[in-house]
Structure 1
Amino acid sequence: MHEGRLAVDEELAGELIAREFPRLRGLPVVAVPGAGTVNAIFRVGADAAARFPLASASAAGLEAEAAALAQFALACPVPAPEPLGVAQGDERYRSAWSLQTWLPGDVADPIRTAGSSSLAADLGALILALRAVPVGGRVFDGQGRGGVLADHDAWMTHCLSESSGIVDVDAVAVAWDALRSVPVAGDHVMSHRDLTPANVLVAGGRLTGVLDGGSFGPADRSLDLVCAWHLLDAGPRRALRAVVDASDDEWRRGAAWALQQAMGLVWYYPESNPAMAKLGRSTVRRVLEDQDIVRTP
């Protein structure tokens, strides 16, 4: 999917896991299929999961993620993975990697979950629980989404140039022009920062778990609202908004972050990760069809 991607298979993962975590030696190591683009995931026995970055990562960086993951697990109102350790690779796999608890469940589908008001209520409760964690002296780290919308103008221009024939680029350009200048809707709050379907576990239309909490930290209070357009159609989306009591500016900024993220998926992943490309297209469609979002301010 990415140039310079690191390679790791079940055999190599099993050897590294046995070396670094001897208590797990002999347990089955099975690659976990999925649409993720950052880590290769392997289930280790019944209760652990190893995460091998697809681009080289430092042990210090993964230790910081583990600390954030532990705090996220404490704050999350549904189960979330907990860190078990960070380990080094070798000449065969040149990156640090991590081990955490395994969390069972089904990954949310952006189409099948779209009509669930129960999931909308659960996602709203999740966002409120994360926001309740004090930011303290922490500040937004400046990485990725969650800061100034207009800082992503060049990226959006590039995505538009690559997306002709995939989505309605003229409509997206108009929507982004209207949304990029929506004012900040309040102080930064603690945020998961990537509430996409791949990180949301569901059963029976309810939220049962949340993955990938290692980026838990301060960000635009609108950022976690991306799940409203990634996962929900209009009715449940309104239900989620009611739970978090989002103002017009907060809500529209959430749509802007969802649009920014989705536009990076539609053109980049059609062949290498069709599920991610499909998610991007459905999210773009939902934003463009949302009359509360695309109206002229």
Structure 2
Amino acid sequence: MLRRTTPVSRAFADPNQLITAVRRALRPLPYHPDVLDDCLTSGLQHEPPWRHRALKPVDSSARPWAERCHPALRPHPLRSPVPPAPKMRPGELDIDVALVERLVREQFPRWAGLPVKQVVSAGTDNAMYRLGDDMVVRLPRLPGGAGQVAKEQRWLPRLAPHLPLAVPEPLAEGAPGRGYALPWGVFRWLDGDDLHTAPLDPAGLAHAAVELGRFVAALRKADATGGPPSWRGGPLADDEHVRAAIRDLDADADGALDGDGATTAWEDALRVPRWDGVPVWLHGDLLPGNLLARGGRLGAVIDFGGLGTGDPAADVLAAWAVFDAGTRPLFREAARVDDATWARGRGWALYFGLTAWHHYRVTNPVLASVGRRAVTEALADRG
């Protein structure tokens, strides 16, 4: 147990001596370096003779200094150090619990005492951390995702009243800082299990097909004036990458993919007439992991990083990524899409499915399995 019966200013003539001594004493413990340095400097700030101009005041009234600097004395289990979020692509930023705690403490001090816990997710664009019981922090993993935060903060409150399912409610927008170079956001936590982690029974899946179809139709009808283009709102592209994925999967997937059939289906999708209507809203990423259910019923849609305007066909890929032969017609009827949009949506299911299955086989097996299912369903649906 750490005891402070003697003022540290008498025991050590220099603050660096204290830091060195504590580091040596706690070396066997699983500390992240930033956590250790943060709690040490916080403790030093309560020793007036050692106050340094470089040290910023830290509100430490919530817990004694020993509790902040010794994991065994921390009262809440969510405060324990955890490893950084695993990386799936080159160039991803370093994100962990300690970083999120520092960002929240400095920019939103009213939430500084709340526990932070990493949310396990197969998502590739954002790392998520639970903040207390009612909030979640979303941080883009790559510099290319910087614009997603402002987009969600601006447009979700405007679209939410027009949608039949719950969507994330933005609470605050964080700025770059403390070693993290991108904007980040705080949202209201939505309870529920995603459809990949907790698949629905047949009745629940049929209900979800109707509800998600209505969601797609309602989103498409919302006023899109001034909306940004979606990165899946244009025509199918990346033909070279899709064909490379087909070749590799045909050779390496133990016969799980019919390469000739996949190639024919992809070429058919490329020949479908392009969208010639005005741009409309689309979610852009309606996959099982972005759909939440409670009590066996679909209730919310999350992760609007791909939100934007354009051809609505990409939202139709849910017909093959989420639903099966028995529930697909329910989704199509509720979504109210024409034959060409449906055919382009099947093309998006092939595009997403083949590239995700191929690219994430090792780094994200969950997303790879979603991609494989989408391909299997899309090929079977061609007859």
More deviation, 197-206/227-236 = 197-206
Aligned residue identity for 2:368: A
Partner of 1:123: 212
Aligned residue identity for 1:177: E
Could you tell me which of 271, 283, 304 is aligned with 1:181?
Answer: 271
Aligned CA distance change for structure 1 residues 93 and 52 (closer, same or farther; 3 Å): same
Q: TM-score, normalised by structure 1?
A: 0.89
Query: Following the alignment from structure 1 to structure 2, what is the Cα–Cα distance between the partners of residues 87 and 25?
Result: 14
Partner of 1:212: 303
Matched, 1:248 2:335: no
What do residues 32-53 of structure 1 show as CA deviations (whole Å, max 9, x unaligned)?
Answer: 0011111110010111111111
Aligned pairs (5 A) from 1:1-297: 1-56=88-143, 62-90=149-177, 92-109=179-196, 112-113=199-200, 115=202, 116-136=205-225, 138=227, 141=229, 144-149=231-236, 151-164=237-250, 165-166=252-253, 167-184=257-274, 187=277, 188-290=279-381, 294=382
Cα offset for 1:57?
5.4
Aligned CA distance change for structure 1 residues 9 and 276 (closer, same or farther; 3 Å): same
Cα offset for 1:114?
7.6
More deviation, 23-32/74-83 = 74-83
Query: Following the alignment from structure 1 to structure 2, what is the Cα–Cα distance between the partners of residues 100 and 239?
Result: 32
More deviation, 76-85/173-182 = 76-85
Aligned CA distance change for structure 1 residues 199 and 224 (closer, same or farther; 3 Å): same
Question: Displaced runs of 4+ in structure 1, greater than 4 A?
Answer: 57-61
Aligned CA distance change for structure 1 residues 288 and 250 (closer, same or farther; 3 Å): same
More deviation, 10-19/80-89 = 80-89
More deviation, 248-257/107-116 = 107-116
More deviation, 16-25/127-136 = 127-136
Query: Following the alignment from structure 2 to structure 1, what is the Cα–Cα distance between the partners of residues 126 and 197?
Result: 21
Query: Following the alignment from structure 2 to structure 1, what is the Cα–Cα distance between the partners of residues 310 and 296?
Result: 28
Cα offset for 1:111?
8.7
Query: Following the alignment from structure 1 to structure 2, what is the Cα–Cα distance between the partners of residues 261 and 113?
Result: 22
Q: Between the two proteins, what is the percent identity of the paired residues?
A: 34
- Structure 2 unaligned spans of 5+: 1-87
Aligned residue identity for 1:127: V
Cα offset for 1:285?
0.3
Cα offset for 1:183?
1.1
Q: TM-score, normalised by structure 2?
A: 0.70
Aligned CA distance change for structure 1 residues 137 and 42 (closer, same or farther; 3 Å): closer
Aligned residue identity for 1:131: R
Which protein shows a greater Rg? 2
Contact 1:29–1:45, Cα closer than 8 Å, also in 2: yes
Query: Following the alignment from structure 1 to structure 2, what is the Cα–Cα distance between the partners of residues 231 and 58?
Result: 25
More deviation, 69-78/267-276 = 69-78
Aligned residue identity for 1:12: L
Query: Following the alignment from structure 1 to structure 2, what is the Cα–Cα distance between the partners of residues 99 and 266?
Result: 31
Contact 2:195–2:289, Cα closer than 8 Å, also in 1: yes
Query: Following the alignment from structure 2 to structure 1, what is the Cα–Cα distance between the partners of residues 234 and 147?
Result: 24
- Structure 1 unaligned spans of 5+: none
Aligned residue identity for 1:203: R
Residue aligned with 1:80, SS: coil
Query: Following the alignment from structure 1 to structure 2, what is the Cα–Cα distance between the partners of residues 56 and 147?
Result: 22
What do residues 140-195 of structure 1 show as CA deviations (whole Å, max 9, x unaligned)?
Answer: 62x5322112x332231232233233232221111000111111355232111111
Aligned residue identity for 1:161: R
Aligned CA distance change for structure 1 residues 256 and 205 (closer, same or farther; 3 Å): farther
What do residues 57-90 of structure 1 show as CA deviations (whole Å, max 9, x unaligned)?
Answer: 5866522332123233233212111112222233
Contact 1:28–1:45, Cα closer than 8 Å, also in 2: yes
Contact 1:105–1:201, Cα closer than 8 Å, also in 2: yes
Query: Following the alignment from structure 2 to structure 1, what is the Cα–Cα distance between the partners of residues 98 and 194?
Result: 26
Contact 1:68–1:213, Cα closer than 8 Å, also in 2: no
Residue aligned with 1:93, SS: coil
Query: Following the alignment from structure 1 to structure 2, what is the Cα–Cα distance between the partners of residues 109 and 232?
Result: 12
Contact 1:191–1:216, Cα closer than 8 Å, also in 2: yes
More deviation, 13-22/205-214 = 205-214
Contact 2:357–2:372, Cα closer than 8 Å, also in 1: yes
Aligned residue identity for 2:291: V
Aligned CA distance change for structure 1 residues 60 and 160 (closer, same or farther; 3 Å): closer
Query: Following the alignment from structure 1 to structure 2, what is the Cα–Cα distance between the partners of residues 137 and 86?
Result: 21
Aligned CA distance change for structure 1 residues 184 and 42 (closer, same or farther; 3 Å): same
Query: Following the alignment from structure 1 to structure 2, what is the Cα–Cα distance between the partners of residues 247 and 59?
Result: 34
